[in-house]
Amino acid sequence: MVRKIWITALGIGLTASGYAIATHEGHEHGTVRPLAAWDIQEKIDGKVSKGTAAEVTLEPGQAGAAHRHPGPVLGYVLEGEYEWAIDDQPPKVLKAGQTFYEPGGCLHRVSKNPGKSKTRVLAWVIHSRDAKDLVIPE
């Protein structure tokens, strides 16, 4: 019985996290598939925190709208090429196997697949558990 309750709660949490990631303005960014959400034991800035993972898939030429996240992001390019830029930094083209970091609240202004094949990115957002949106349109 306890296991069923735990599994149901986990499913609800993942669905809510995925919804918060996937339903922001600028949905032309590609597809977002929630993968996991974990409560973090340590407090960040005095708040209880959570880590949420999602897989972002971009078809050739697809680009996302500029946005911010409520906490830091750690990313890993799983497949293809990913053109990425934050704040006023020049864009970089990352290839499969490369990683990136975004400080919380920075402007993620370039998010694009510049290649001729599909791009897949794994992104972890570290945020307070009470964050309403994990993607904040600019």
pLDDT for the residue numbered 1: 45
- 82-114, pLDDT tens digit by residue? 999 999 999 999 999 999 999 999 999 999 999
Q: Which domains does the chain have, with CATH numbers?
A: 2-137 (2.60.120.10)
Quote the pLDDT of residue 19.
Answer: 40
Q: Residue 4 phi/psi, 5° resolution?
A: -65, -40
Comparison of pLDDT for 88 and 10, the residue scoring more: 88
Using alpha carbons only, how large is the chain's radius of gyration in Å?
A: 15
C-alpha pair distances (Å), 61 with each of 27, 34, 135: 14, 22, 21
pLDDT at 30: 85
What whole-number distance in Å separates Cα of residue 86 and Cα of residue 69?
Answer: 11
- In tens, the pLDDT along 15-50 reads 444 444 443 334 456 899 999 999 999 988 899 999
Contact 21, 32 (CB under 8 A): yes
CA 95 to centroid of chain Cα atoms: 17
- Those residues whose C-beta lies under 8 Å from the C-beta of residue 109, and which sit 6 or more positions away, are 66, 85, 86, 87, 138
What is the model's pLDDT at position 45?
84
